[in-house]
């Protein structure tokens, strides 16, 4: 069986390779702390496998994460000059030489991922599923990255793995600490949940609610989902809290709402919040680094004029369709 | 209610634009202590949360191949392709991507799109090239605005397509939570169907905004050109 953990180990190896070349890069003003940052990440990925399997304690990983956050948070994560890649003129020339061939590896990524996601769960070998159940798409993305790399090296006459590794390191250093921020936020979400932040917010949501009138209850549920998602960075964390405080007791039991409609539109109101928050770092902050946008809130700003009217539309849709 | 101070740390930290890694770590420690957790329990929660969310990082594995094809002129090639297709404008590239992203997500193919694997190598350079074809070299601010909109389009398409797919993610979270908590028996298909009205509104709203990007770009290019003309005149 192909296990998703293999790909987490591969990411760990990749981080270690980034660390090994970062430590020798004299164009990086903070090359030693930067290398330590990537090396600690490289160790934390395979160590996590044992935490998930409950064969190792989780707290050392917590310490590792704090160390990683301290290096980044004190401005000691630097990056190299990125020299060594091709210039704009060279790329024009290469584009003419290779033509449409450069698209093939990029298009292989969605094709392979889609194959794994759709056919993967149906294949079994010797009575065992070929892919670890429920991780088919993540495995598909990992496999597609490897397949696309092999295809790319063959089509583009690249004979050394060092070339794509150096390019991958350049892009990873560009993204910098934003590459792990989404995981830190997931970890914060867990602490919030364990410490009872959700219950506290749920109590305040039901406290502001006037009783007996439908429209305010719909507004509190939808807007509450969006606001709580902005805080937590994740609509999945907001849903149980707001549903327990408002959605189920008031909208479904109290006003007799259509349960699937109330819950579906409530969740989608949360998604409007996801479009507005830096806490959803993988959607809103990572692309800032990937696309060289400078302003941390550039993506959020582009999304706000869609998110706000869409939230209003959700309130209207729920009011009209669910009752 | 004291635990809400942890939320306050996050809000204030982001508002002051302090380093997000520090803000998140401090907020986690503060919330944990106020919620009565011991240091050991907080560190355990940190570790478990990190280990359990590693799937978010798998996109990093595509970076070596993306870097390799970019090194060999991928973005330039995407621009050449666009310059040959006369009818494609920035807005139409973005709207077309919105359609594809929303439909593929709705049939469960969420991870075939994304910022690392499609927006950076293909969609953003194509959207920019379509504008260059029309207006010539773009001011950097306009280029960045187009790229940011391309990222936003990926998100909107993914979010408001994914929820229609029955077998993973949001729909299953909803049914499993309410079924176990309230003893209901919701059919996932019903939840998915009730997601369609919002998906349609999201498509109309963001699709219209995508097409409108053409006019925004034209306006900003004109504004930048006339500003340059003015300073040029003063210097001259």
* Residues A170 and A213 placed together within one structural domain of the fold: no
Among A119, A144, A176, give the residue marking a domain's end.
A176
* Residues A276 and A145 placed together within one structural domain of the fold: no
Contact state of A186 with B181 under an 8 Å Cβ cutoff: no
Q: How far is CA B28 from the centre of its chain?
A: 25
B residues 30-69 closer than 8 Å to A (CB): 31-32, 34-37, 40-69
Contact state of A59 with B113 under an 8 Å Cβ cutoff: no
Q: Does A236 touch chain B (CB under 8 A)?
A: yes
Q: Per-residue pLDDT averaged across A126-142, rounded?
A: 85
* Residues A1 and A93 placed together within one structural domain of the fold: yes
Of the residues B57, B141, B163, the best mutation for testing chain A's interface (the one with the most A CB atoms within 10 Å of its CB) is: B57
What is the ipTM, given to two decimal places? 0.88
Query: Which chain B residues touch A290 with a CB distance below 8 Å?
Result: 115-116, 119-120
Query: Which chain A residues touch B70 with a CB distance below 8 Å?
Result: 91, 167
Cα separation of A315 and A266, whole Å? 9
Q: Does B204 touch chain A (CB under 8 A)?
A: no
Q: Does B170 touch chain A (CB under 8 A)?
A: yes
Q: Per-residue pLDDT averaged across A154-165, rounded?
A: 91
Q: Does A294 touch chain B (CB under 8 A)?
A: yes
Contact state of B184 with A259 under an 8 Å Cβ cutoff: yes
* Residues A19 and A128 placed together within one structural domain of the fold: yes
* Residues A231 and A262 placed together within one structural domain of the fold: yes
* Residues A85 and A107 placed together within one structural domain of the fold: yes
**Minimum CA–CA partner of B36 in chain A:** A195
Q: Does A196 touch chain B (CB under 8 A)?
A: yes
Model confidence over A209-258: pLDDT tens digits? 766 789 999 999 999 999 989 988 888 888 888 888 888 888 998 899 99
Contact state of B50 with A62 under an 8 Å Cβ cutoff: yes
- Statement: residue A127 has pLDDT above 90: no
> What pLDDT sits at residue A154?
95
Model confidence over B120-154: pLDDT tens digits? 989 999 999 999 988 988 999 999 999 999 999 99
Q: Does A17 touch chain B (CB under 8 A)?
A: no
Contact state of A292 with B144 under an 8 Å Cβ cutoff: yes
Q: Does A219 touch chain B (CB under 8 A)?
A: no
Q: How confident is the model at residue A143 (pLDDT cuts 50, 70, 90)?
A: very high
A residues 102-121 closer than 8 Å to B (CB): 102-103, 105-106, 109-110, 113-114, 117-118
> What pLDDT sits at residue B26?
93
**Minimum CA–CA partner of A291 in chain B:** B120
Cα separation of A149 and B66, whole Å? 8
Model confidence over A48-68: pLDDT tens digits? 999 999 999 999 999 999 999
Q: Give residue limits of the domains in chain B.
A: 4-52, 58-235
Among A176, A207, A239, give the residue marking a domain's end.
A176
Q: Per-residue pLDDT averaged across B209-234, rounded?
A: 84
SS3 sequence, chain A?
A: CECHHHHHHHHHHHHHHHHHHHCCCCCCCCHHHHHHHHHHHHHHHHHHHHHHCCCCCCHHHHHHHHHHHHHHHCCCCCCCCCECECCHHHHHHHHHHHHHHHHHHHHHHHHHHHHHHHHHHHCEECCEECECCCCHHHHHHHHHHHHHHHHHHHHCCCCCCHHHHHHHHHHHHHHHHHHCHHHHHHHHHHHHHHHCHHHHHHHHHHHCCCCCCHHHHHHHHHHHHHHHHHHHCCHHHHHHHHHHHHHHHHHHHHCCCCHHHHHHHHHHHHHHHHCCCCCCHHHHCHHHHHCCCCCCCHHHHHHHHHHHHHHHHHHHHHHHHCC
Give me the domain span that covers residue A40: 1-176
> What pLDDT sits at residue A66?
95
> What pLDDT sits at residue B167?
63
- Statement: residue A82 has pLDDT above 80: no
Q: Does A154 touch chain B (CB under 8 A)?
A: no
> What pLDDT sits at residue B39?
93
Q: Does A296 touch chain B (CB under 8 A)?
A: yes
Cα separation of A295 and B148, whole Å? 10
Cα separation of A15 and B198, whole Å? 40
Contact state of A181 with B1 under an 8 Å Cβ cutoff: no
Neighbours of A323 (CB within 10 A): 15
- Statement: residue A205 has pLDDT above 80: no
- Statement: residue A140 has pLDDT above 70: yes
* Residues A107 and A227 placed together within one structural domain of the fold: no
Q: Does A228 touch chain B (CB under 8 A)?
A: no
> What pLDDT sits at residue B93?
94
Contact state of B54 with A283 under an 8 Å Cβ cutoff: no
> What pLDDT sits at residue B214?
94
Q: How confident is the model at residue B235 (pLDDT cuts 50, 70, 90)?
A: very low
Contact state of B28 with A52 under an 8 Å Cβ cutoff: no
> What pLDDT sits at residue B25?
93
**Minimum CA–CA partner of A267 in chain B:** B170
Q: How confident is the model at residue A305 (pLDDT cuts 50, 70, 90)?
A: very high
> What pLDDT sits at residue B232?
52
Q: Per-residue pLDDT averaged across B225-232, rounded?
A: 73
* Residues A187 and A84 placed together within one structural domain of the fold: no
Q: Per-residue pLDDT averaged across B3-8, rounded?
A: 84
- Statement: residue B228 has pLDDT above 90: no
* Residues A51 and A123 placed together within one structural domain of the fold: yes
Percentage of residues in chain A having pLDDT higher than 70: 99
Of the candidates B52, B65, B124, the beta carbon closest to that of A164 is on: B65
Cα separation of B46 and A217, whole Å? 35
- Statement: residue B112 has pLDDT above 80: no
Check: CB of residue A184 under 8 Å from CB of residue A234.
no
The position carrying tokens 């429209």 is: A215
* Residues A202 and A72 placed together within one structural domain of the fold: no
- Statement: residue B168 has pLDDT above 70: no
Q: How confident is the model at residue A310 (pLDDT cuts 50, 70, 90)?
A: very high
Model confidence over A256-272: pLDDT tens digits? 999 999 999 999 999 99
- Statement: residue B86 has pLDDT above 90: no
> What pLDDT sits at residue A79?
86
**Minimum CA–CA partner of B23 in chain A:** A73
Q: How confident is the model at residue A318 (pLDDT cuts 50, 70, 90)?
A: very high
Q: Does A185 touch chain B (CB under 8 A)?
A: yes
Split into its structural domains, chain A has a count of 2
* Residues A22 and A134 placed together within one structural domain of the fold: yes
> What pLDDT sits at residue B230?
67
Contact state of B198 with A314 under an 8 Å Cβ cutoff: yes
Minimum mean pLDDT range among B4-8, B27-31, B193-197? B4-8
* Residues A189 and A153 placed together within one structural domain of the fold: no
Model confidence over A91-108: pLDDT tens digits? 888 888 888 888 899 889
Among A157, A176, A195, give the residue marking a domain's end.
A176
Of the candidates A93, A265, A285, the beta carbon closest to that of B194 is on: A265
Check: CB of residue B117 under 8 Å from CB of residue B62.
yes
Query: Which chain B residues touch A51 with a CB distance below 8 Å?
Result: 47-48, 51
Mean pLDDT of all residues in chain A? 90
């Amino acid at each position: 069986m192909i296990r998703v953990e293999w790909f987490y180990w591969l990411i760990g190896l990749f981080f270690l390779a980034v660390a090994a070349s970062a430590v020798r890069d004299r164009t990086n003003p903070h090359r030693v702390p930067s290398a330590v940052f990537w090396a600690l990440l490289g160790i934390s990925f395979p160590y996590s496998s044992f935490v998930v399997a409950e064969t190792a304690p989780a707290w050392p990983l917590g310490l590792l994460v704090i160390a990683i956050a301290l290096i980044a948070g004190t401005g000691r994560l630097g990056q190299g000059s990125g020299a060594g890649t091709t210039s704009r003129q060279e790329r024009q020339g290469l584009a003419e030489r290779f033509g449409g061939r450069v698209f093939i590896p990029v298009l292989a990524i969605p094709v392979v991922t889609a194959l794994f996601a759709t056919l993967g769960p149906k294949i079994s070998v010797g009575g065992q599923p070929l892919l670890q159940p429920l991780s088919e798409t993540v495995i598909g993305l990992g496999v597609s990255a490897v397949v696309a790399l092999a295809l790319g090296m063959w089509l583009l006459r690249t004979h050394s793995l060092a070339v794509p590794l150096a390019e991958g390191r350049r892009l990873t250093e560009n993204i910098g600490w934003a590459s792990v921020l989404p995981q830190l936020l997931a970890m914060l979400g867990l602490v919030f949940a364990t410490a009872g932040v959700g219950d506290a917010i749920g109590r305040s949501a039901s406290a502001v609610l006037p009783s007996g009138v439908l429209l305010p209850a719909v507004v509190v549920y939808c807007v509450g989902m969006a606001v709580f998602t902005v805080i937590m960075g994740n609509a999945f964390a907001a849903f149980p809290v707001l549903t327990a405080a408002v959605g189920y007791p008031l909208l479904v039991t109290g006003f007799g709402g259509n349960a699937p409609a109330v819950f579906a539109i409530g969740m989608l109101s949360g998604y409007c919040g996801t479009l507005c928050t830096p806490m959803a770092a993988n959607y809103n902050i990572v692309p800032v680094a990937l696309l060289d946008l400078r302003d941390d809130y550039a993506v959020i700003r582009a999304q706000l004029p869609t998110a706000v009217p869409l939230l209003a539309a959700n309130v209207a849709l729920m009011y009209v369709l669910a009752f | 209610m004291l635990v809400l101070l942890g939320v306050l740390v996050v809000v204030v930290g982001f508002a002051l634009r302090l380093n997000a890694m520090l803000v998140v770590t401090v907020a986690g420690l503060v919330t944990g202590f106020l919620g009565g957790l011991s240091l050991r329990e907080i560190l355990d929660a940190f570790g478990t949360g990190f280990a359990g969310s590693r799937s978010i990082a798998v996109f990093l594995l595509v970076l070596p191949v993306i870097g390799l094809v970019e090194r060999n002129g991928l973005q330039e090639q995407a621009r050449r392709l666009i310059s040959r297709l006369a009818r494609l404008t920035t807005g139409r590239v973005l709207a077309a991507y919105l359609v594809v992203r929303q439909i593929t997500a709705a049939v469960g193919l969420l991870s075939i799109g994304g910022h690392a694997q499609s927006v950076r190598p293909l969609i953003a350079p194509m959207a920019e090239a379509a504008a260059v074809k029309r207006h010539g070299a773009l001011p950097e601010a306009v280029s960045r605005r187009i790229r940011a909109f391309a990222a936003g389009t990926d998100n909107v398409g993914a979010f408001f397509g994914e929820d229609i797919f029955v077998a993973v993610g949001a729909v299953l979270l909803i049914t499993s939570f309410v079924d176990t908590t309230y003893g209901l028996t919701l059919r996932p298909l019903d939840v998915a169907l009730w997601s369609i009205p919002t998906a349609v509104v999201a498509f109309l709203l963001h699709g219209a905004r995508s097409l409108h990007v053409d006019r925004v770009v034209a306006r900003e290019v004109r504004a930048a050109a006339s500003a340059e003309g003015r300073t040029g005149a003063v210097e001259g």
